[in-house]
Chain A
Amino acid sequence: MFPKGTKRKFSDSADDPAPEPATPLQRQSLLDMSLIKLQLCHMLVEPNLCRSVLIANTVRQIQEEMTQDGSWQLMTQALAAAQCPADRLVASELLCRQTDPAAAAGGPKPYALVGEAYQEEEEEEEDSEECASEGEEGEQVFGTFEIKHPPPGPDPALEELFSDVDASYYDLDTVLTGMQAAPKMGPYDLLESLSSHGRISSFHIIYYSMNTTEARTNP
């Protein structure tokens, strides 16, 4: 069980065993899973705002805890050090975006991904100013986001998550971000990299938004 959380559940049962503290691996695994879910939110037949919000809040909680024990900073430093050429697929906006200088001290916020996930829902209320401001931070937007962790065993839940991901999803993202030379990365490549044995596996998050890609390709 994971010890840290924000909300309520008063248990009136004395029989419940005290939850064990989450290991860093468990916490990382939960973070990975949550980020995948947020990505896949775009692809659901019926996008569910409540679900997206709950998952995003979970990511925030993990990030807060990791910031407190210093592991978040370690991770972002590792990312910066492992900066790959721009022909890899993106999504560091998740971590690198700092909309508020005051918040920068507290660590980057994963709001951007969440914010843009919600933008899709609103047809008539597109905030064009917001898109424009994202374009300004173009330098920070692109990069590679990799979480490196010791390889877990094959994960049937992840396999199921990716089982019907459409490969053209990644192609479209490539095209829209102008990275024609990017290697095609199908769903099974991602799966493979996650469930590899005996080597460090890396995990790429692909960030895709209907609204912001226009901003990026038309600076």
Chain B
Amino acid sequence: VAGAGGGCNDVQWCFSQVKGAIDDDVAEADIISTVEFNHSGELLATGDKGGPCQPAPVPRGVQRVQAPSRATNPSSDYLKSLEIEEKINKIRWLPQKNAAQFLLSTNDKTIKLWKISERDKRPEGYNLKEEDGRYRDPNTVTTLRVPVFRPMDLMVEASPRRVFANAHTYHINSISVNSDCETYLSADDLRINLWNLEITDRSFNIVDIKPTNMEELTEVITAAEFHPNQCNTFVYSSSKGTIRLCDMRASALCDQHSKMFEEPEDPNNRSFFSEIISSISDVKFSHSGRYMMTRDYLSVKIWDLNMETRPVETYQVHEYLRSKLCSLYENDCIFDKFECCWNGNDSVVMTGSYNNFFRMFDRGYRQDVTLEASRENSKPRSVLKPRKVCTGGKRKKDEISVDSLDFNKKILHTAWHPLDNIIAVATTNNLYIFQDKLN
């Protein structure tokens, strides 16, 4: 079970594989925009910013994840992937109900439901057709032959099943499937809509924060998510660092929140950038549903749903950037939207940083570690060495100073396998998969 048996520093993370272009020349189309394991952990979906008809050196789409027990030679067990020709901002898997898998994907304005199926056999032995599919001249056919299924390389296929369009004026930032498996929400900068998965021509608006006069706009919605087991509850975060929890039973339009989570400002740390760095870029419920995690520019916070006044835990991701906020405002890095994720048993949380670093925080053992996703560290089964940023004074060997950090190398998207210690980490245009050495 992920996280059990020791703190995150006891886990030895090994490189498993990497997908994507080797060179640093990144086309807009190649930028990975989302990474998501399905509920069983067997499939991993990635999206990128490329539109249709774009060549895709990064295998976007869905691929089968290798279970740890089958990991003999990572480099030869290529994960079969398929390409979904879409610009994708977010992907969310539906809980599996039958043999087929379904996922929701969204671009800026439209959500689509996809059916994902795997094929590992194909019919062979037609004698009515040529190899290329053309029908043979019936006069040449002299025998009756029934095609048989023969094994083939595993292939993953996706077909669009529903298109949910024309409900968003602003850019969609979140989608979230309800635990009832019948509805889902989609959120843009100012509104949240509720959909039925079967009904594409109608959605219900459940949150609307658009002011009558747009000039009075000072706050936008940044993320939203349904509670993992209470189908009436969802949360949404804002650019002012607040999280509102809403109960759909209370009223049709959930402009009135049931709870509002907000940490008081620290007067000692106020600056012109305080609001920007408090803007929440991601919110994720724990698997248990008891906690939620938020990511703002410098930290990760864990909130107990029963306490609105302050988070129960705060983890500093890269506090050394606090003195660099002006430069980061100049180069726009301060607006980067980092995501965060929980491990399977909610004991460890993970988020990305700059210089292709990513961070893990063990909640129980109070440990944290910084690791790096890079081609240099990518030999099969090589163990990742913890990294350290030198914040001042004498720089030790193997430490990297703050001024040497590469702010173009940012890890915004990470995902943790729901059951095992397998993680997917997306750099700008490469997808890394790491797993616990014990596997």
CB within 8 Å of B: which residues of A?
A: 1-13, 16, 18-19, 22, 26-27, 30, 33, 37, 46, 48-51, 53-54, 56-58, 61-62, 99, 111-112, 114-115, 118-119, 121-125, 127, 130, 157, 160
A16 is contacted by which of B222, B239, B269, B273 (Cβ under 8 Å)?
B269
Does B335 lie within 8 Å of A3, measured CB to CB? no
CB within 8 Å of A: which residues of B?
A: 108, 169-171, 189-190, 213-220, 222, 239-241, 262-266, 268-279, 298, 310, 314, 316, 319, 322-323, 325-327, 329-332, 335
Does A22 lie within 8 Å of B319, measured CB to CB? no
Does B170 lie within 8 Å of A9, measured CB to CB? no
Does A6 lie within 8 Å of B216, measured CB to CB? no
How far, in angstroms, from A8 to B33 measured CA to CA in the complex? 28
Does B275 lie within 8 Å of A111, measured CB to CB? no
- Known contacts A30-B272, A122-B214, A130-B213; 15 additional CB pairs below 8 A are A8-B274, A9-B266, A9-B269, A10-B263, A11-B268, A19-B271, A22-B272, A33-B329, A48-B171, A54-B239, A58-B273, A111-B215, A125-B169, A157-B327, A157-B331
Does B278 lie within 8 Å of A7, measured CB to CB? yes
Does B274 lie within 8 Å of A7, measured CB to CB? yes
Does A18 lie within 8 Å of B276, measured CB to CB? no
A13 is contacted by which of B219, B319, B325, B326 (Cβ under 8 Å)?
B319
Does B275 lie within 8 Å of A7, measured CB to CB? yes
Give the residue name and chain of the B residue nearest to A45 (CB).
B28
A–B pairs, 17, beta carbons within 8 Å: A1-B325, A4-B272, A6-B274, A8-B266, A10-B265, A19-B268, A22-B272, A30-B272, A33-B329, A50-B189, A50-B222, A58-B275, A58-B276, A114-B215, A124-B169, A157-B330, A157-B331
Does B274 lie within 8 Å of A5, measured CB to CB? yes
Q: Would you give the shortest CB distance from B260 to chain A, in whole angstroms?
A: 13
> Which of B214, B240, B265, B298 counts the most chain A CB atoms within 10 A?
B214
Give the residue name and chain of the B residue nearest to A125 (CB).
B169
How far, in angstroms, from A7 to B269 measured CA to CA in the complex? 9
Neighbouring B residues of A51 by C-beta, 8 Å: 332, 335
The 10 A-B residue pairs with the shortest CB-CB distance, nearest first, are A115-B215, A5-B274, A7-B275, A5-B270, A8-B265, A157-B330, A111-B215, A10-B266, A2-B272, A2-B271
Does B271 lie within 8 Å of A11, measured CB to CB? no
Does B330 lie within 8 Å of A33, measured CB to CB? yes
How far, in angstroms, from A6 to B274 measured CA to CA in the complex? 7
Q: Would you give the shortest CB distance from A198 to chain B, in whole angstroms?
A: 24
B310 is contacted by which of A4, A10, A11 (Cβ under 8 Å)?
A10
Assuming A10-B265, A115-B214, is B169 touching A3 (CB within 8 A)?
Answer: no
Q: Would you give the shortest CB distance from A63 to chain B, in whole angstroms?
A: 11
B220 is contacted by which of A27, A37, A53 (Cβ under 8 Å)?
A53
How far, in angstroms, from A119 to B214 measured CA to CA in the complex? 8
Does B215 lie within 8 Å of A99, measured CB to CB? yes
- Please count the residue pairs between chain A and chain B whose beta carbons lie under 8 angstroms apart in the complex: 141
A111 is contacted by which of B216, B219, B265, B278 (Cβ under 8 Å)?
B216
Neighbouring B residues of A57 by C-beta, 8 Å: 218, 275
How far, in angstroms, from A4 to B268 measured CA to CA in the complex? 10
Does A5 lie within 8 Å of B218, measured CB to CB? no
Does A9 lie within 8 Å of B330, measured CB to CB? no
Neighbouring A residues of B215 by C-beta, 8 Å: 99, 111-112, 114-115, 118
Neighbouring B residues of A30 by C-beta, 8 Å: 272, 326, 329
How far, in angstroms, from A1 to B329 measured CA to CA in the complex? 12
How far, in angstroms, from A2 to B329 measured CA to CA in the complex? 13
How far, in angstroms, from A57 to B239 measured CA to CA in the complex? 11
Q: Would you give the shortest CB distance from B274 to chain A, in whole angstroms?
A: 3
Give the residue name and chain of the A residue nearest to B279 (CB).
A54
A9 is contacted by which of B240, B298, B332 (Cβ under 8 Å)?
B298
Neighbouring B residues of A62 by C-beta, 8 Å: 272
How far, in angstroms, from A18 to B327 measured CA to CA in the complex? 19
Give the residue name and chain of the B residue nearest to A58 (CB).
B272
Does B335 lie within 8 Å of A54, measured CB to CB? yes
Give the residue name and chain of the A residue nearest to B392 (CB).
A15
Neighbouring B residues of A46 by C-beta, 8 Å: 108, 171
Does A50 lie within 8 Å of B169, measured CB to CB? no
How far, in angstroms, from A130 to B214 measured CA to CA in the complex? 10
Assuming A50-B239, A53-B219, is B270 touching A3 (CB within 8 A)?
Answer: yes
Does A53 lie within 8 Å of B218, measured CB to CB? yes
Does B217 lie within 8 Å of A114, measured CB to CB? yes
Does A7 lie within 8 Å of B213, measured CB to CB? no
Neighbouring A residues of B271 by C-beta, 8 Å: 1-5, 19
Give the residue name and chain of the B residue nearest to A127 (CB).
B214
A50 is contacted by which of B216, B279, B310, B323 (Cβ under 8 Å)?
B279
